[in-house]
Amino acid sequence: MGENLPSVPGGAQLQRDTLCRAVRTLRVKMVLLGSSGVGKSSLALRFSKDEFRSASPTVGCAYLTQVVHLSNVTLRFEIWDTAGQEKYHSVTPLYYRGAHAALLIYDISKRETFIRVQVWLKELEKQYTAGSVVIWLVGNKGDLAQDREVSVQEGQSLANDRGLFFTETSALSGDQVSELLMAVAHRVYERNGAQQGGLSEWQETPLVDLHRRHKFSPVSCCKVGP
């Protein structure tokens, strides 16, 4: 199914300061799947820090976070960026187990990645019952439109046929990236937020200041020598 992404003026609704958030914060696990080189790591970095850097192939899995404010709740996204190389394929299910959202990412300028993303979809369908996970088909590298090998219509058609949401993005320019994350947040909360056990509450672990002086002097329990 297609998706009209909500506008995010200047990324205003993406809160990068975790000290300022709504009282209720829920955890959302989102996994990024797709072939090596489609831009998963670059998208994850855009989601988390609104930055772009050329990235080396991910080894195993990388982990980033981002906080999204909705009208009455805050969602803390735990973003799992999986390796796309074939040699890591067998362990990838360990990373997307328990995910609330999955982004199936391909490179619009490389048809083989579009074909490959359909294999990832089959793998996901083995792990989850229909409708339990928000699955989004993402055609990345929209900045390479002049080299396009996969049309918008093809991406939309696959999404319609398989009951997925669909968006094209550019991690390089940032086009539609914040809007995509906001749209995923709304869909995940609609599907899981009100359900008992759907989304667990996130509690910040207080930091311990190891440099703070104790009011008592340390006492040694051991003595060397006679």
Say if residues 52 and 46 touch (Cβ distance below 8 Å): yes
Q: What is the residue type of 141?
A: K
**Cα–Cα distance for residue pair 33/159, rounded to 1 Å:** 15
Question: Could you report the average pLDDT of every consecutive run of 10 residues in the chain (226 residues)?
Answer: 54 48 78 91 91 62 86 91 57 74 96 94 81 92 97 98 96 96 95 71 61 43 39
Q: Encoding tokens for residue 48?
A: 């988390």
Q: What angle in degrees, to the nearest 10, is found between the helix axes of 152-162 and 111-127? A: 10
pTM: 0.77
**9-193 has which fold?**
Rossmann fold (3.40.50)
CA 193, distance to chain mean position in Å, is: 17
Task: Give the pLDDT score at 132.
Answer: 81
Q: How many helices (H) and strands (E) does the chain have?
A: 5, 7
Every domain of the chain and the residues it spans: 9-193
